[in-house]
Amino acid sequence: MSEQRIKEYIEGKYGKFGVDRVWHDTAIPFGEVLQEFEDWIGGHKLWKQKQGESLNSSAFVTCGNWDLKTKVPEQCKVSKIKLPSYFMEWINLKDIYLNFYNRRVSELD
């Protein structure tokens, strides 16, 4: 499908401003999402705020560094929220693969 056809489809379905406008109009503010997330991880005893914001016997597992190294810090900055320290550590499966097989993973990109 051509880019022009995709653009026409999106404009027909969502209007001139496309999907971004729909997401913007219906998005939950990041601060609220972060609070709900902290309530959830706290409720599952994965995190105790009084322990310096570290996770309890749990970790984020990612396929690459982009989400937790780049996007979450950027969103915190835009939202004027201090980056919680539990977002500063994660397990990157691509690094595990590289260390074990001594070659970069390409199928997960």
Q: How many domains does the structure of the chain reveal?
A: 2
Condensed to tens digits (0 to 9), the pLDDT of residues 50-69 reads: 766 778 888 999 999 999 99
22 and 67 part of one domain:
no
47 and 90 in a single domain? The answer is no
On whether both 2 and 31 belong to a single domain, the answer is yes
Same domain, 64 and 106: yes
Look up residue 47 and give its DSSP letter: B
Class of residue 47 by CB neighbours under 10 A (exposed 0-12, middle 13-18, buried 19+): buried
Q: Are residues 45 and 63 in the same domain?
A: no
The domain in which residue 5 lies consists of 1-51
Looking at the fold, whether 45 and 87 belong to one and the same domain comes out as no
**The pTM of the whole model exceeds 0.85:** no
DSSP state of 19: H
Hey, which bits of the chain come out as E strands?
A: 61-62, 91-92
Tell me the percentage of the chain whose pLDDT exceeds 70.
Answer: 82
Report the percent of the chain where pLDDT is more than 90: 53
